[in-house]
Structure 1
Amino acid sequence: MHINDVNDTGRARAGLRWRAAGLLLGCVVLLAAGCAGQPGTHPGADVRIDANAVPPSPVSRREAYEYHVLAGEMAIQRDNRALAAREYVAALEYSNDPALAKRATRIALFAEQPDLAYRAATLWARNEPDSLDAQRTAARMAVANEDADGLALYAPALVQAAASPDIGYRLLADVVSGAPNATDMVIDTLSNMAQADSASAPAQYALGVVALRYDRSEIAARAAERALALDPNWNDAVLLQAGVWIRGGETAKAQQLVDKLPGNAVSRAQYHLALARLLIEADEEDAALGEFEQATQLQPDNSDARYGLAILSLSLGQLERAETAFTRLYDNNERADDAAFYLGTIAEQREDYAQAQRWYQRVENGGHAFEAQVRGARMIFMQDDLPGAQRRLSELRAIYPDLAEQLYAAEGQLLYEADEPRAALDIYNHALDEIPDSSELRYGRSMAYERLGDIEAAKNDLQAVLDSEPDDARALNALGYLIANHGTDYERAAEYIRRALEAEPDNPAILDSMGWVEYRLGNLDTARHYLERAYRDFPDAEVAAHLGEVLWQQGQHEAARRIWQNAMADNSDHPVLTETVERLDP
C-alpha cells in the first residue's frame, strides 16, 4: 500500500489546489510580507515547509488551512510520509472538519507517527462521537501513547458507539490487547468500566478476556465468575471460565466444561475451536490438537479448524497428519495458496526437493507468494542445478525489482553453500553497487570474505552493519566468533557475543559461540553449559565438534567420541568436525 491510496477528504480538489498553489507562490515571492523565511528560495526551488509554522498575517485561517493541506499533498507525492503527517495535523489547527481529521489520522498512522496520529484522532473522535471507527482509533492511540486519561474517555465512547454493548466490549478488548507497556493502565480502565457497569455481563467478560491476555489470572477469574453469575447460559462466559482454568493448569476441568455446552454440531465445533486457541495460548499444544480434531469431526467443512489442525501438526513434527489436512484444504480450494506453501515445506523436510519445488510453484497469491518463489529456486539448487537456481533468481529480480536485495542475498547464500565463495563475493559486490546501504548484503559478503581468508575485510563489513544497526544480534555474534577464531582477543570477542545473547538468549548459534569463546578463555564448565544447551536444540556438526572438544579436554573421551560419531554419520565431510576429530583423536 502506498500513501497515495489513503482516501481523500474531497477538500483538496482542483479549486483548493489552485488557491493554495497561489498562496505558496505568494509565500515565495512576497518575502517582505514574511510568508517565507528560508534564504535562497527562488521560483522552481524545492520549497521546504515547516509544519509547525503558522502562515503570518494577512493570511486567513482558510488560506492557512489550504496551505498545509497542499503542502501535505505535495509531501505525499514525494513519498515523504513524515512531512505529510505533520502538514495534515497542522491543518487541523484551522479546521474542525472530521473528514480532514480522519485523513490526517490515517496518514500519520501510515507514517508511523503515533503522537501525530493521536492528535488527529482526538479531534476526529470529538467531532464524530457516534463514529465507531473514530472512537476505536482514538482508544487504540491512547493505548499506544500510554495516555490513561485519554483511554478513560475513549474506551467508554467506543462501547457507546457500537451497535450493542456486547459488540462494543468485544471490540474494546481487542483494541487494548497486545500492549505490555500499558498493562496497568489498560487493566485499571477496564476494571473501572466493569465496576461502573456492574450489571453488564459483557463488561465483566471484556475485563476477564483482557486480564487473561495480560496474564492477570486472579482478575480474570473474578471477572469470569461475575460474568457467569450475571448470565449463566452465556457460552462466551463459559469459555472465559475455561480459559481461566486452563491458565491455572486445570485443562481437563476446562475441557469437561466445554463438552457440556449445548448446541448443534456447528456450534459445538466453534466451542472446541475456541478452546483450542486458548490451549495454544497456554502452550498446551497436544491438548489443542485434540480440540482441533474434535472441531473437524463435528464440522468437516470448517476450514479454520482444519487449518489450525494442519499448522499445529506441522509445528509438532507430525508431518503425515499435517500433509493430510493441508492436502484436503488444497483440494477443496480453501486457503489453497497457504496449503500449497506448507505442503512444499513438508516435502522439503522429507528431502523430496522436486516435489517441494512443484508445490512452491503453485503458490500464486497471499503472504507466502514471494517466499515460495525463492524457496522454489532453492529447491532447484538442492537438485544439484546451481546454474538453474541462479537463472530463476535472476528471473525473479525482473519480476520483483523492489525485492532485489533479498534475491541477491539468496543467490549469494547458494553460492556460499556450494563452496563458491569467489562467485558469491562477485554477486555481493555487484549487488552492493546497486544497494550500497544493505546490511543484509554486507553480512553475506563478510561470510564470503571469511571463507576466502580475508578476515579484515570480513570484520570491516560486520562492523559496518553494526555501525548502522548496533543491536543486530546476527552481526554481533558473527563478529565475536570471527575474532575468537582468528585472534586471541577473547574478551573482546566475548563482549560482542554477550550482547548478541542478550538480544536472543535462546538462539543455538549464539549459545554455541558463547560456549566456544568461554572455552578459549579456559572456562570449561561454563563452556560446556552453553554448548550443551546449543546442541540440545540444534545438533549441528559444528556444535558437536565444539562440545566434543570441551568434553575431551575435561577427560570425558568416550562421551566426546559418541557425539562426534553421531555427527559424522550425516556430516562425514564437515571441515570443522573433521579437523577437530583428526586433531584430538587421530
Structure 2
Amino acid sequence: MNWRPRSWSALLFPMLLVFAGPGAAALPPPIGDVMAGEFALQEGNLKAAARYYLLAAQVSPDAGLAERATRVAVLAEQPAMAERALARWRALAPDSLSMRAAALSLAMRQGGHEQAMQEVRELLSAPGDEGFQALLAVMAQARGDEAVIARGVARSIHQEALLPSTLSSWLQFAGLARRLDDRPLSDQIVEAGLARFPDDPRARLLRASRLREAGDDAGARAALQALGDADDLPDELRRPTAGELARLGAFREAAALLATAPQDDGTYGQRAAWLVAAEDPAGLLALYREVEGLAAAPSPSRRLLLGHLAEALEHWDDAERWYAGIPRGAGHDTAMLRRARALDQLDRTADALDLLHELQADESADGERQRDSYLFESELLERRQRPDEALTAIDKGLKVFEDDPVMLYARAMLHERGDRVEAALADLRRIIDENPEDAQALNAYGYTLADRTGRFAEALPYVERAYALAPESAPVIDSLGWVNFNLGRTERALELLQRAWARLKDPEIAAHLGEVLWTSGRRDEARAVWLAGAEVDADNPALRRAMEKFKP
C-alpha cells in the first residue's frame, strides 16, 4: 500500500492552534513532549514529531492532542504510531465524528476492507446527516491504492443497504462512485434510487433528463409534466427543471418557470436569453419593465443587464443610456463595447468609433475587451463600406495582439471578402501552424482553397481533418459535402449536405445542396431548398450564383 498524506495544509493547520481540549484546564498537556514535537515539525523531522506527539497524547486527557498525534503520524507515514494515537483519540472521544472519519481514512490507507466497513457503520449510525456527509468527504479524497479499497467499500455499502433512506443521499453516493471511477456502480445506485423513490420530484427530474439524453423528448416532457405545477416544486428544483425544459426547446415555458424561483441578475439574464430564443418580444418587454422597476438607482451590474435587455428589444436609445451610466470598475469595459454597438445602431458612427478608440487607449482595460474593440471597429467600418479602414483597424489590433488567432481569422475573412485570396490563405495558414487542431481555421482554409481556387483535391484533407475534430458542425459538414461533390462523389456529398441543412438553415448550405439535387435530377427539391435559403438571406452570394446558374 502507498501510505502517504493527502494534504499538508489540512494536517499542519490544527497543530499550530492553542491547546484547548476538554481536559486541558484540569491537567495541562505534557508541555515538554509537545514542544519537542513542534520543534521537530519545524525542522521537518516528521518521524520524531510523531513520536513526541504520541508520547504526549498517551498521558494527556486532551482529545485534541490525541487528534494531533494521529494526524502527525499519518503525515509522517508511520501507521503503527497512527493506530496507537487513534486508539487514544477513540478512548477520549468515542462519539467524535472527526475521530470516526479519521479511523475510516486510516483503515482504507492500510487496505483493511473489514475495518473500513466497521468504521462506515459507526459513521452511518450517527444521528442526522453529519455521519453520512463525513463518510462522503473521506471517501472522495481517496487516491491510488486507497481508491481501490474505497471502491470496494462503496460497493459493500450499497450491497448491505446502508445508505440513508432519501433520494438525495443516494444521488450523492452515486456521484461519489463516479468520482471513484466506478461508473457501473454509480448507474446502478441511480437506477435503484429512482425505483425506490419514484414520487420524489428529484427522481422525476432525473428521469426526464435521462429520457432526453436517450432521444425520447416526448417521454422527457411527460416526466416533467408529472412534476406538477410550479407551486408544487421545491425552490431548489425550479432552476434545474427550467433548464431541462430549455434543453427540450420549450424556452417560453422554461422562462416562465424560472420566474417563479428566487430572482437575481443571473436568473433575469437567463430568462432574457430563453425569451430571445423563443422569439418572444412581448415576454422580453415585460421582463425589461420588471427589472427596470426594481430600483430607482440600479447597481452597475443591473445597468449592464438592463442594457442587454434593451439591446434584445432593439431599444437602442435605452441601451446606450444604461451602458453610459456604468462607472469604472467591473463591467465598465464591456459596457463601453456594448455602448459602441448601440451608437452604431443609432447611426452615430463617429461617436461609436471615438468610444472604441478610447477603450483601445486605456491601459487598464480588460485585454479581451480591447481585442474585441478592434474586431468591432473593423466590422463597423466594413458595413459602412469603408473596407480599407476596416483592414487598417485589424492590422492595428494585430500590432497589439500579435498572432491572436481570433484577429487573424477576422482578417482572413476580410481578405477573402475583398478577393485577396492568397492573403486570406496565408492568415489561416498561420493559425493552423500554431494550432493544428483548430477546426474552424482548418475548415475555412479548406473551403477557401476549394471555393476560391478550385483546388478541391488539395482542400479535401483540411476539411476532413476539420470534420474529424468537429463532426457536428454544420459549416464543416457543408464544406466536406461541397468538396466531395466537386470531386465527383455525389452520393456522399448529398448525404453530408442534407445533414448540414437539417442542422442549420443557412443560405450557403442551401446553395450547395440545391445544386447537388438539381444536377441529380431532383429539381423540385432543389427549388424548394433554394427558396427556403432565400427566405433566410436572398442576397447571399453563393445562393445568388446558384440561382443565376441554373435559373430555377
Structure 2 length-normalised TM: 0.61
Cα 1:168–1:292, aligned 2, differ >3 Å: closer, same or farther? farther
For the structure 1 residues 568 and 492, does the alpha-carbon distance in structure 2 shift closer, same or farther, using more than 3 Å as the test?
same
Report the number of matched residues: 432
Aligned to 1:545: 511
* Equivalent in the alignment of 2:469: 503
| 1:198 aligned residue | 162
SS for the counterpart of 1:440 is: helix
Q: Which shifted more, 206-215 or 268-277?
A: 206-215
* Aligned residue identity for 2:164: S
Once the two structures are superposed, residues 426-457 of structure 1 have per-residue CA deviations (whole angstroms, 9 ceiling, x without a partner) of: 22222222332312222222222223333222
- In structure 2, the residue matched to 1:396 is 359
Q: Is the 8 A contact 2:477 2:500 kept in 1?
A: yes
Instruction: Give the distance between the partners of 1:186 and 1:374, measured in 2 at CA.
Output: 52
**Deviations 1:376-420, CA, capped at 9 Å, x for gaps:** 323433444544432221122234263332322222233344443
Q: What letter corresponds to residue 273 of structure 1 in structure 2?
A: R
Distance 1:210 1:300 in 2: 29
Per the TM alignment, residue 480 of structure 1 is displaced from its structure 2 partner at its CA by 0.5
Shift of 1:479: 0.4
Contact 2:46 2:75 in 1 (8 A): no
Correspondence 1:451-466 to 2 at 5 A: 451-466=417-432
CA distance in 2: counterparts of 1:458 and 1:272, whole angstroms: 50
Aligned residue identity for 1:328: E
Q: 1:245 maps to which residue?
A: 207
1:526 and 2:492 are equivalent in the alignment: yes
Partner of 1:331: 293
CA distance in structure 1 between the aligned counterparts of 2:225 and 2:523, rounded to whole angstroms: 53
Contact 2:255 2:275 in 1 (8 A): no
Deviation string, structure 1 residues 347-384 (Cα, Å, up to 9, x no partner):
24xxx555554555566799876445434323433444
Q: Which residue of 1 aligns with 2:12?
A: none
Larger Rg: 2
How far, CA to CA, are the matches of 1:434 and 1:296 in structure 2?
A: 44
Letter in 1 for 2:356: L
Spell out, residue by residue over 1:441-494, the C-alpha distance to the aligned partner (whole angstroms, 9 max, x if none): 222222222233332222111111111111112211110011102333313312
Between the aligned partners of 1:456 and 1:275, the Cα distance in structure 2 is 49
Output the amino acid matched with 1:200.
P
| Corresponding residue for residue 47 of structure 1 | none
Instruction: Give matches, 1:187-586, under 5 Å.
Output: 191=155, 198-201=162-165, 203-208=169-174, 217-224=187-194, 228=197, 238-247=200-209, 249=211, 258-259=227-228, 268-270=233-235, 273=238, 276=241, 279-280=244-245, 283-286=247-250, 290=253, 293=256, 296=259, 309-333=271-295, 336-337=302-303, 339-348=305-314, 353-354=316-317, 356-358=319-321, 361=324, 370-399=333-362, 400=365, 402-403=367-368, 404-568=370-534, 571-585=537-551
- Flag structure 2 segments of 5+ consecutive residues without an equivalent: 1-8, 10-40, 50-73, 87-95, 106-112, 142-146, 212-218
| Residues 81-120 of structure 1 mapped to structure 2, 5 A cutoff | none
Partner of 1:62: none
Matched-pair contact (CA < 8 Å) for 1:207–1:223: no
Counterpart code for 1:324: A
Instruction: Assess if the C-alpha contact under 8 Å between 1:347 and 1:356 holds in 2.
Output: no
Higher relative contact order (CA 8 A, sep 6+): 2
Deviation at 1:311, TM superposition (A): 4.1
Amino acid at match of 2:189: I
Counterpart residue number, 1:30? none
1:51-66 map, 5 Å: none
On the 8 A contact 2:158/2:189 being kept in 1, the answer is: no
Please provide the CA RMSD for this pair.
5.3
Q: Cα gap change, 1:527/1:245 in structure 2, threshold over 3 Å: closer, same or farther?
A: same
Given that 1:269 and 1:294 are in contact with CA atoms closer than 8 Å, whether structure 2 keeps it comes out as: no
- Contact 2:157–2:163, Cα closer than 8 Å, also in 1: no
Q: 1:401 to 1:563 in 2, by over 3 A?
A: same
Deviation readout 1:481-525 (Å, 9 max, x if unpaired):
111023333133122112222222232322222222122212233
How big is each residue's C-alpha offset from its partner over 1:322-347, in whole Å with a ceiling of 9 and x where there is no partner? Answer: 44235413422597356425414522
- State the distance in 1 between where 2:135 and 2:292 align: 36
Where 1:436 maps in the other structure, the secondary structure is coil
Partner Cα distance (1:516, 1:224) in 2 = 48
* Partner Cα separation in structure 2 for residue 327 and residue 353 of structure 1: 15
What residue identity is the alignment partner of 1:347? Answer: L
Q: Is the 8 A contact 2:409 2:427 kept in 1?
A: yes
Structure 1: distance between partners of 2:138 and 2:515: 56
Q: 1:533 to 1:193 in 2, by over 3 A?
A: same
AA in 1 matched with 2:193? A
The answer as to whether partners of 1:447 and 1:458 remain within 8 angstroms in 2 is yes
Identify if the C-alpha distance between structure 1 residues 538 and 409 changes in structure 2 by more than 3 Å, giving closer, same or farther. Answer: same
Q: C-alpha distance in 1, partners of 2:271/2:137? A: 27
Amino acid of the residue matched to residue 461 of structure 1? Answer: D
Cα distance in 2, alignment partners of residues 428 and 96 from structure 1: 65
Q: Distance in 2 between matches of 1:543 and 1:469?
A: 27
Q: Is the 8 A contact 1:428 1:441 kept in 2?
A: yes
CA contact (8 A) 1:518 1:526 kept: yes
